Chains A and B, each alone.
Chain A
């Protein structure tokens, strides 16, 4: 028997990893810093929560949450491709608009799902799933999504999307409508983020208008942690890194909480993780310069013997 906190952390990590997959799709594949994530995460949670609250089948509600996220991403993509608004600003605009949309969707600041039927209560009712039902469902979901994304990125369409983020001029000259690729990528990405939001809301049994705040930085932190620790030598490995990054990030957060930091300090910790990760290449250069200087001395010493 694992301690409850470890199981809980792992469950959360797997659910947030869905969001990190979405962030990976825009940030790394499309090279598009998409802040829509902050709004679409909440949108997913809010949509699923209000539908379930009003008696919709939770599986259907989760699917609709995914679709709602896709719409949010499409809107951002539309602002960027159609009106040439910069990636950063188009994301911020959608994110801001979505804040109001989310409040409209829920009709209030938060919706409680206590004792409501969710995908997790359904899954737990399956034989043998009572204790680890949430964990198993979250794991299966991320596994299937990871495999699907891997397969997608190896198709003709997937290659064209990767090339759009890598060298837009080149893939346009090979006859790909890169605006279409960006729209598709942003839609899929925010769909995944909203799906993650709907999982989190159903697991914590409430949705809140503020649940997406700081999500992009958390996503980036997870992404970078995964890439650094696991590596990115090929696509499959990178996807595993992205998913593990999401889980490891949650573990770090859990440890920070255990050490006595308050939940209100978490955003700062996350920001620092990203700062360290982004500053690391520069610092690494200095450290390696120092250590190679040290090594140089050693060899000199060895030669002089």
Chain B
């Protein structure tokens, strides 16, 4: 499904601030894989995701999605294949537009925008159905401006928007990190049910070790721009959080001192 081959990205090359963000990363995802990605700050998780989404071009290597080399494609042309949910609930929706307007834009993801009436009754009906499934009472508020929704509601809406038109690859960049624990759990449950139902290939960054092991079928650990651990199958089932933490320290040769990660793991 997704193959990342020898992907390298260096920021501020040739300066004192040179930073190898991605160091010859190799990765292959099978269709339907739900992969969680962990690693300390600056490990390259988000850089990897941005490279796949096309936020910047890599210095070396190739990204092949669904048999198509997308390495050099600008981000808006990858939209047909890839959809994303960001950490910030504000960044996935257009605040000054209504819920139905946001949804119809998401439904047209990757299609050319034409000079024709955007919203039709038939689509409104299906939006109402989809929103009912979120269980947030948004189905009766199609013409409400998104600005008036809470962070959790906006993130749930963003998730719905990302999956309304089935993507080949779903990228989730710590999409529950900015939410309160209860809302985060709800959004995560929604994520699991929608990816399972539509059999989506998913890459999810998380800082929560428990979440990383509980969700999905495979876990990657990154450090210094490399994937240092790739857990799947029985290895993953037998893995405990503490052992994962130990393995991280051993593999990276660095004592685990990322407050956020330790705090997250105590949940």
Contact = CB atoms under 8 A, between A and B. Distances in A.
Contact of B113 (A160, A167, A169, A170): A160
B106 interface: yes
A163 B115 contact: no
A166 to B, nearest CB: 4
Given A157-B114, A160-B105, A171-B105, A166 B76 contact: no
A174 interface: yes
A71 interface: no
Contacts, number: 81
Interface stretch (A38-46, A99-107, A175-183): A175-183
A32 to B, nearest CB: 15
Given A175-B79, A175-B111, A177-B76, A159 B93 contact: no
Interface stretch (B95-103, B186-194, B246-254): B95-103
A178 B111 CA distance: 14
Given A162-B97, A175-B110, A155 B115 contact: yes
A154 interface: yes
B97 A157 contact: no
B117 interface: yes
Given A156-B108, A156-B116, A158-B118, A175 B95 contact: no
Given A169-B91, A173-B79, A177-B76, A162 B96 contact: yes
Interface residues of B, number: 32
Nearest to A165: B96
B95 A167 contact: yes
Contacts of A173: 53, 75-76, 79, 83-84
Given A162-B97, A167-B91, A171-B94, A154 B109 contact: no
Interface in A144-198: 152, 154-160, 162-163, 166-167, 169-178
A170 B154 CA distance: 13
A154 B111 contact: no
A166 B94 CA distance: 6
B11 to A, nearest CB: 19
A174 B108 CA distance: 8
Contacts of A178: 76
Given A173-B83, A178-B76, A162 B94 contact: yes
A184 to B, nearest CB: 10
Interface of A is mostly: helix
B97 A163 contact: yes
Interface string B64-95: 00000000000111011001101000011111
B117 A155 contact: yes
Contacts of B111: 175
Contact of A166 (B77, B79, B96, B116): B96
Contact-size category for A: 20 to 34
Interface in B22-80: 53, 75-77, 79-80
B92 A170 contact: yes
B93 to A, nearest CB: 7
Interface string A115-143: 00000000000000000000000000000
Nearest to B162: A173
A45 B95 CA distance: 38
B97 A159 contact: yes
B91 A170 contact: yes
Contact of A154 (B84, B114, B118): B118
Contacts of A160: 105, 113
Nearest to B102: A163
A158 B118 CA distance: 9
A152 B92 CA distance: 24
A159 B83 contact: no
A106 B94 CA distance: 44
Contact of A159 (B84, B92, B105): B105
30 contacts: A154-B118, A155-B114, A155-B115, A155-B116, A155-B117, A156-B115, A158-B118, A159-B105, A159-B118, A162-B94, A163-B105, A166-B95, A166-B97, A167-B94, A169-B91, A170-B91, A170-B92, A170-B94, A171-B94, A172-B76, A173-B75, A173-B76, A173-B79, A174-B83, A174-B106, A175-B77, A175-B109, A175-B111, A176-B76, A176-B79
Interface of B: 53, 75-77, 79-80, 83-84, 86, 91-97, 101, 104-106, 108-111, 113-119, 161
Given A156-B108, A174-B79, A175-B79, 12 more contacts: A155-B117, A157-B115, A158-B118, A159-B104, A160-B105, A163-B105, A166-B96, A170-B92, A173-B76, A173-B79, A175-B77, A175-B108
